[in-house]
Amino acid sequence: MGLNKVTVDDVNYAGKKVLCRCDFNVPLKDGVITNDNRITAALPTIKKIMNDGGKVILCSHLGKPKNGPEEKFSLAPVAVRLSELLGKEVVFAADDEVVGENAKNAVANMKDGDVVLLQNTRFRKEETKNEEPFSTELASLADCFVMDAFGSAHRAHCSTAGVTKHIKDTAVGYLMQKEIDYLGNAVENPVRPFVAILGGAKVADKLNVISNLLEKCDTLIIGGGMAYTFLKAKGYEVGLSLVDDSKIDYCKEMMEKAEKLGKKLLLPVDTTIGDGFPDPIDAPIEVKVVPATEIPADKEGLDIGTETQKLFADAVKSAKTVVWNGPMGVFENPTLAKGTIAVAKALAETDATTIIGGGDSAAAVIQLGFADKMSHISTGGGASLEYLEGKVLPGIDVIADK
């Protein structure tokens, strides 16, 4: 998978109309953007095309409109924020059909360096099915295509893949390039020792990731809710802890696979237990730490214990590459965030290349204030998981190779 895609740095966009697929799927409350990280993250790619003298036509989805256009999913607030950040008016083409009269006129009137934002691509039913005529209509606006939305790269949609049937001049933007460099190379070509840390609730979500990473890494660490299915597979009592009984044989297979391949598979040696899941999630909760072999039948494991924190932190110390996906416990609760904080701290203090694979682990690292200590925080939850599984992502696959 040593991917070598054409990037925006390989192309001069002077005088060209460039359709750029970004990830502007930002959280909104009453029409106000509550976090604009995804917008600021897109600026370097947009500015590169502008500075070349290209005409930038931006597109993105936002939320999940059910039956075509829904006003609450309009990208209008994004156009306003982009205009502020770029110090230049971004023309918003408010067409329910996305490529309508407003879009066509706005594009026809563009001067070099201008920016137009199209309406939410999911206002068109065809988008998620990757169907015509939407791909053709999108492509008709531009000479070149730039893919910079890693969070949508695992989906073959009109705006991530379909357009490339009609636009041959394709490249990845800076955000995509960074994801390919870090996530792709970490898995395919890691500097060793390579330690992978998996957490989160369900084994089922990570089946292929566990299997693929066991082949690539030197040490695989398993924490979070999914660890209890492994502990049960070892024959231990796990009480009321989260368990997927249908995956016990799979966990046994994975432990055997690790042994066969000579890989270290680390499971919690102790666990933080309580009477049950906190409700609400951040409510005060009484806990104690017990050995992983001694979970009482009427208690639930909710975080890794103190010895496990040390064990996992030690495994990270000597690593040269670390990939982490999924929290170690119910990190939304201050009492049950200790395991996740310990792992984040260990990663913050290591000299290794540290890669956070999107989703909850990215949220945890940002929330806990460790973001600037990580080499790379992936912008895509589902996309980064599929990448770690070793899958080919359609939104990357369609971009021209160097």
Residue 301 marked ligand-binding: yes
How far apart (Å, rounded) are the C-alpha atoms in residues 375 and 354? 5
Residues 243, 232 contacting (CB under 8 angstroms) = yes
Q: Which of 38, 55, 247, 299 is catalytic?
A: 38
Q: Where are the alpha helices (DSSP H) in 109-168?
A: 126-129, 134-139
Residue 162 marked ligand-binding: no
Could you confirm whether 184 is annotated as catalytic?
Answer: no
Could you confirm whether 359 is annotated as catalytic?
Answer: yes
Residue 178 marked ligand-binding: no
Query: What is the number of helices (H) and of strands (E) in the chain?
Result: 15, 17
CA contacts within 13 A on the Cβ side of 397: 12
Q: Which of 173, 357, 359, 380 is catalytic?
A: 359
Residue 23 marked ligand-binding: yes
Residue 143, number of CB atoms within 10 A of its CB? 16
Q: Which of 100, 113, 382, 390 is catalytic?
A: 382
Going from the C-alpha of 362 to that of each of 56, 306, 323, 324, the distances in angstroms are 29, 22, 11, 9
How far apart (Å, rounded) are the C-alpha atoms in residues 221 and 326? 11
How far apart (Å, rounded) are the C-alpha atoms in residues 308 and 304? 6
Q: How far is CA 336 from the centre of its chain?
A: 23
Q: State yes or no: cis peptide before 280, omega within 30 of 0.
A: yes
Residue 25 marked ligand-binding: yes
Could you confirm whether 21 is annotated as catalytic?
Answer: no
Could you confirm whether 81 is annotated as catalytic?
Answer: no
The torsion angles phi and psi of 56, rounded to 5 degrees, stand at: -95, 115
Residue 24 marked ligand-binding: yes
Q: Which of 202, 257, 263, 345 is catalytic?
A: 202
Residue 155 marked ligand-binding: yes
> Could you tell me which residues are annotated as the binding site for (2R)-3-phosphoglycerate?
38, 122, 155
> Could you tell me which residues are annotated as the binding site?
23-25, 38, 61-64, 122, 155, 206, 301, 332, 358-361
What are the residue numbers of the active site?
38, 202, 359, 382
> Could you tell me which residues are annotated as the binding site for substrate?
23-25, 38, 61-64, 122, 155
> Could you tell me which residues are annotated as the binding site for ATP?
206, 301, 332, 358-361
